[in-house]
Amino acid sequence: MPRASHRFLAVAGVVALGAVPLSSCASESRGVDVSGDWPSSAAAAAAQDDAPSMLVFGDSWTFGLAASTPTGGYAYLAGLDLGWNTTVDGENGSGYLHPGEHGGLYGTRVVQLDPELDPDLVVVQGSINDRASDLSTLSRAANSVWEALERMYPDAELVILGPAPATLPVDESVERIDEILGNLAQTEGLDYISPLQEQWITKSNYDTVIDSSSTGHYHPSDTGHAYLAEKLAEHISEIAPEDLAIASE
C-alpha cells in the first residue's frame, strides 16, 4: 500500500455531515458519531476559494460529542483553523472492530462514503472503542480500512490519528491500540499522529480538556475540542507547507 502523494488543491467552505443531538449518543466514552445512512445536515463556514479539502473519519470525538454543538468538535474546528473545506464523518461507539451506535464498523462505513468527494487529505481517527475487542485482529482490520480509503480516494494523503486518552492513567488496551496502529502506519509508509506518545492529554490539562461529567461522558469539552483542533492543525500544516503556502495565496 504505497503512501499517497500530497496534492492539496482545493474547494471552499466547511461541510459538516451528520449533526446529531447529543442525547442520541451512547453514554460511554466509546466512540464516534456520523453513520453513512443517517440523514445529514450541512453547515458552511468561510474558507478560501483555493482551500484544500479534508475528510475526517472517526468516532464520537470526531463527531464532536460533548461540544456545545457538534460543529464545535475538533474536526470542524481544525478545518476552520486551516481554512480548508472539511467533511466530517463519525459514528458514536464505532471502531475498526467495535460496531457503533448504528451498527457501523469503520470497514462498513468506508464503503458508504461519497466516492465523488475527492478530498486532498483523509484523517482516520481512533479507535478507543476497540479496547474491549480482540486486538489480535486490529492490524488486519485497520489495514483493510486504509486500503479501501486509498482505493476510493487515490489522490488523497492519508493520515492516521491514534486514540487519545479519555481517562487517566491510560488503559493498557488503549496503549496497545496505539502501538498496533502506529506500527502498521510505519510499515505502510503513512503519517501517524499519536496523542498518547505526544502527551496531548496529561494530568496537568485533563480537567480542562476532558468533560468527565454525566453530560460529557469523558469526551472533550468545548475547550478540549478547540485544543485538539489546534494540535491536529499544527500537524497537518507540517505535512506539506509548500502546498499550503500555494493554497493560501
**Band of residue 246 on the pLDDT scale cut at 50, 70, 90:** very low
Answer yes or no: are the C-beta atoms of 166 and 246 closer than 8 Å: no
Residue 10 lies in a domain: no
The C-alpha cell that represents 117 in the structure block: 468527494
Would you say the C-alpha torsion 180, 26, 206, 63 has a positive or negative sign? positive
Residue 8 lies in a domain: no
Phi-psi region of 218 (alpha: psi -120 to 50; beta: other; left: phi over 0): left
pLDDT(243) > 90 = no
Residue type, position 240, single letter: A
Give the residue carrying C-alpha cell 474547494: 11
Residue 130 lies in a domain: yes
Residue 6 lies in a domain: no
Mean pLDDT over residues 225-244, rounded? 83
> By residue range, what is the domain housing residue 38?
15-247
Domains of the chain: total: 1
Give the pLDDT confidence of 159-201 residue by residue, as tens digits: 999 999 899 999 999 999 999 999 999 999 999 999 999 999 9
- Phi, psi values for residue 172, rounded to 5°: -60, -35
Residue 38 lies in a domain: yes
Q: Which pLDDT score is estimated for 75? A: 95
Q: Which pLDDT score is estimated for 28? A: 36
pLDDT(49) > 80 = no
Residue 178 lies in a domain: yes
Q: Which pLDDT score is estimated for 247? A: 47
CA atoms within 13 A on the CB side of 7: 19
| CATH number of the CATH domain containing 46 | 3.40.50.1110
Give the pLDDT confidence of 51-99 residue by residue, as tens digits: 889 999 999 989 888 788 878 999 999 999 999 999 999 998 999 999 9
Percent of the chain whose predicted confidence (pLDDT) is above 70: 76
pLDDT(47) > 80 = no
Residue 7 lies in a domain: no
Give the pLDDT confidence of 127-137 residue by residue, as tens digits: 899 999 999 99
Cα 15 to Cα 215: distance, rounded to the nearest angstrom = 26
Q: Which pLDDT score is estimated for 48? A: 55
Residue 81 lies in a domain: yes
Cα 188 to Cα 145: distance, rounded to the nearest angstrom = 13
